[in-house]
Structure 1
Amino acid sequence: MDGTRRTPGRGRLAPAAALAVALIASAGCEGDVGLSEASSTPKQPGSGDGKRARSDLSELRVASEGRGTGYARDEFGTRWKDTDHNGCDQRNDVLARDLQDVEKKGKCVVLAGVLHDPYSGKTITFAKKDAAEVQIDHVYPLALAWRMGASRWSEDQRERFANDHANLLAVWGVPNRQKSDSGPGEWKPQKDFQCAYAVKYIAVAKKYSLPVTDPDHDALQTFLGRC
């Protein structure tokens, strides 16, 4: 998620976040439209991926968060720019990659599909008319990256980061809003996805030479224990 800097007391759930948790807990109840229990758990990385991630985590620099002064989404360039030059914007690329039973208009535009949400474990029916139900998350959030050093990057590098498929994931809007600009030390996905989440997060941090905080490092180490 793009994220914005939150107010002090980040460890406590604000009313909106508390509501999001309640929605997640109740999403499988009878009467909900377009939601059901996931029919399968997210695919786990191979044992080699977990081993590589542990090694990479040990080499990541640990640092404190900066203040985040000056952050704005526009600092990360064009939203969903076609950086891989395949003729489709990054949002539709990721939807086509992460959804099942995809229906398209033409080559690129995803009209419908089914998402087995990795963050909550729910199955979400996606339709373009209700596009906010499925959002594209930045696994390593943009606002957090800004606080951890991206504020000193060139505009081109920030744009590449914001549109890099490796850092993008189609997810249900509810947990994505709950996650906001949090790192793994403050927010975590369902247990079945924690290994894959850690592998992905660490790979992005390594690729862009981004440090992690002490709490994020400890959480990632814990998540890798589930690999």
Structure 2
Amino acid sequence: MRAPLAVLSTAALLALTGCEIYPAPPSGDPGAATGNATLDDLTVARAASMRGYSRDHFPHWRDTGDNCDIRDSVLTRDGQKVRHRGCNVTGGTFYSVYDGKTVYKPADVDIDHMVPLANAWRSGAAKWTEAKRGEFANDLDTPQLVVATQATNRSKGDQDPSQWKPPRRESWCSYARDWIAVKAHWKLTVTTAEKMALADMLETCAS
């Protein structure tokens, strides 16, 4: 099971073949109590209106130089035996924790926003500046960007954990922790149903 991603200092940034690449976070399982404590700190509120929403308000897949972008950074960070042409990812082995499937072609991999952009809009991001929304959409310091199969990413859409859970039950614990970590870092709200679903998912964490 993939452990929840720890917040990385920007000083940990590495440069690889001209692209900005962030090292993989340390592994470890702090236990369900940690997740519950963070969950309790989140503000519960009704989902706000989608009025005015557009993905264009979240500038994403930021250019990192040499015709590469954040997607290449995530594939390099999370893949195995990754091959590059310059800093563009051309091959490797990519594991989708949501459904336990392995993908070998970068073109067949989606990079999922753990907290979808539309969900963020409903839970506080509508009030942000566009610059801040861009930081959120390209966030490599929290578990916000995740390798996923196209099927699971598109099945998830903009749904929260009360509406969609990864088909692989073994990933529920890490998924809930990561969702909570992102929402806590960005001070986004959760609905009552969302909080209850997260609590249920945390129950699957090993004691």
Which TM class, normalised by the smaller chain length? 0.7 to 0.9
- Name whichever structure is richer in helix by fraction: 1
Residues 51 and 86 from structure 1, CA distance in 2 versus in 1: closer, same or farther, beyond 3 angstroms? farther
Secondary structure of the corresponding residue to residue 50 of structure 2? coil
* Alpha-carbon distance in structure 1 between the residues aligned to 2:70 and 2:31: 25
Q: Which consecutive aligned stretches of 4+ in structure 1 deviate over 4 angstroms post-superposition?
A: 85-88
Q: Name the counterpart of 2:94.
A: 115
Gap regions ≥5 residues in structure 2: 5-27
Q: Name the counterpart of 1:188.
A: 165
Secondary structure of the corresponding residue to residue 147 of structure 2? strand
* Alpha-carbon distance in structure 2 between the residues aligned to 1:219 and 1:44: 19
Alignment of 1:150-189 (within 5 A): 150-165=125-140, 166=142, 167-189=144-166
Equivalent AA in structure 2 for residue 90 of structure 1: I
Cα RMSD, aligned residues only? 1.9
* Alpha-carbon distance in structure 1 between the residues aligned to 2:187 and 2:76: 29
Could you tell me which of 59, 62, 74 is aligned with 1:81? 62
* Alpha-carbon distance in structure 1 between the residues aligned to 2:130 and 2:52: 14
* Alpha-carbon distance in structure 1 between the residues aligned to 2:81 and 2:31: 28
Q: Name the counterpart of 2:80.
A: 100
Q: Name the counterpart of 1:144.
A: 119
**Number of residue pairs the alignment of both structures matches:** 179
Q: Over residues 78-129 of structure 1, what are the superposed CA-to-partner deviations in whole Å (9 max), with x where a residue is unaligned?
A: x21157x8995211000111221211111x21001112211111122224xx
Equivalent AA in structure 1 for residue 110 of structure 2: Q
- Name whichever structure is richer in strand by fraction: 2
* Alpha-carbon distance in structure 2 between the residues aligned to 1:110 and 1:156: 27
Residues 214 and 99 from structure 1, CA distance in 2 versus in 1: closer, same or farther, beyond 3 angstroms? same
With the length of structure 1 as denominator, give the TM-score of the two structures. Answer: 0.74
Residues 87 and 58 from structure 1, CA distance in 2 versus in 1: closer, same or farther, beyond 3 angstroms? farther
Q: Name the counterpart of 2:8.
A: none
Gap regions ≥5 residues in structure 1: 1-41
Conserved in 1, the CA contact under 8 Å of 2:46 and 2:191? yes
* Alpha-carbon distance in structure 2 between the residues aligned to 1:164 and 1:49: 24
* Alpha-carbon distance in structure 1 between the residues aligned to 2:171 and 2:66: 29
Could you tell me which of 33, 36, 40 is aligned with 1:58? 40
Q: Which has the larger radius of gyration?
A: 1
Share of identical aligned residues, percent? Answer: 41
Conserved in 1, the CA contact under 8 Å of 2:93 and 2:102? yes
* Alpha-carbon distance in structure 1 between the residues aligned to 2:105 and 2:153: 15
Equivalent AA in structure 1 for residue 36 of structure 2: R
